[in-house]
Amino acid sequence: MKTLLEHLRVLRHTLQRLLLTPNATLLNILIIGIALSLPVGGYVLLKSVQLLGAQISGTPQISVFLATGTSDGDIERIGDKLKQHAAIQRIEFVPRALALKKLQQSSGLSDVIGGLSQNPLPDAFIIYPKDDSVAALEALRDELNAWQHFEHVQLDSAWIHKLEALLNFGRTAVAILAALLSFALIAITFNTIRLQILTRREEIEVSKLIGATDAFIRRPFLYFGLTQGLLGGIAAWLLVAASLQLLNYQVGALAQLYASNFSLQHLSAGDSLTLLGFSAYLGWLGAWFSVSQHLWQIEPR
């Protein structure tokens, strides 16, 4: 109870001190907010792109185009063999006539196709594998390539893996950015607290003389770092939220042209809490470094 009251007193004192120099406080919070909003914004964009990729690609599949002139009997035997394959979940046969009809319906090329004297499309199987990892898909594709009567084996979702690789690259870049800017945040807090300790030198000295523990002297500075970090985190959250709002307005118009309902995802509740917790922690850490560095230099004489 006694300690709780003491913590509340320090917290109130910290807020008063923040309000005492509103311009400096606002500037610090804004700098921290902008620094944090860059990696957070990158993270949000990556997450949306990843979601979009998953939406478009669906389950990965392999298309097999048969050599022209494969007999109906061969097709049947191949179909049975595929169905019994351990790595294949199910298959779908697309006869060349059906493929042509689908193409005519979907592509708006019906005039051109109608003018063709014969059907140029091959018969095809669409194969849905059990395991959709890249390695398994590629192994299956290579295996099928060697089969008789198969003209061409195509991994339809290869691009999603390229996207995945690209996303991984993006994630690494965001992580590096986050690490660098975290250091910046710690440095900003370190310096703010250093200046505070200098200006409050006398108070620290007197407090030590009349029996203040190190914890008591450290506490207001740690609270200040924590609070400033937290406010910076809130600023970053607001910046990201506002930017997404603005971007989604544009994305909405763009998506409409492609008849898609794609929009950029905002930070989830969990992500938001992580952001605030992390920024508060970094502020605390910066203050802690600063206090450990500078406080011992002030000894009463």
Closest alpha carbon to 63 in 165, 164, 140, 131: 140
Task: Name the one residue in this structure whose structure tokens are 């046969």.
Answer: 93
Distance CA 162, CA 44 (A): 20
Q: Does 2 bind another protein (CB under 8 A)?
A: yes
Q: Does 292 bind another protein (CB under 8 A)?
A: no
One-letter amino acid at 133 equals S
3-state class (DSSP) for residue 230:
helix
Nearer to another protein, 277 or 300 (CB): 300
Residue 105 makes CB contacts below 8 A (sequence gap 6+) with: none
Nearer to another protein, 67 or 206 (CB): 206
Nearer to another protein, 210 or 259 (CB): 210
Q: Does 67 bind another protein (CB under 8 A)?
A: no
Q: Does 300 bind another protein (CB under 8 A)?
A: yes
Residue 151 phi/psi, 5-degree rounding, is -80, -45
Q: Does 108 bind another protein (CB under 8 A)?
A: no
Q: Does 202 bind another protein (CB under 8 A)?
A: yes
> Which element (helix H / strand E) includes 127?
strand 124-129
Scanning 4-12, 148-156, 176-184, 240-248 for contacts with another protein by CB under 8 A, the matching segment is 4-12
- Kindly tell me which residue out of 132, 156, 164, 203 binds another protein, with binding defined by CB under 8 A: 203
Residue 75 makes CB contacts below 8 A (sequence gap 6+) with: 66, 93, 123
Q: Does 212 bind another protein (CB under 8 A)?
A: yes
Scanning 105-113, 189-197, 205-213, 221-229 for contacts with another protein by CB under 8 A, the matching segment is 205-213
| Encoded tokens for 148 | 């008789």
Residue 233 CB, shortest distance to another protein, in Å, is 29
Nearer to another protein, 156 or 203 (CB): 203
- Kindly tell me which residue out of 175, 180, 209, 238 binds another protein, with binding defined by CB under 8 A: 209
Scanning 108-116, 174-182, 197-205, 271-279 for contacts with another protein by CB under 8 A, the matching segment is 197-205
Q: Does 218 bind another protein (CB under 8 A)?
A: no
| Cβ density class 35-73: b for 16+ within 10 Å, e for less | bbbbbbbbbbbbbbbbebbeeebeebbbebbbeeebeee
Chain CA centroid to CA 55, Å: 16
Q: What residues from 129 to 148 belong to the interface with another protein (CB under 8 A)? A: none
Residues that bind another protein (CB under 8 A): 2-3, 5-6, 9, 202-203, 205-207, 209-213, 216, 300-301
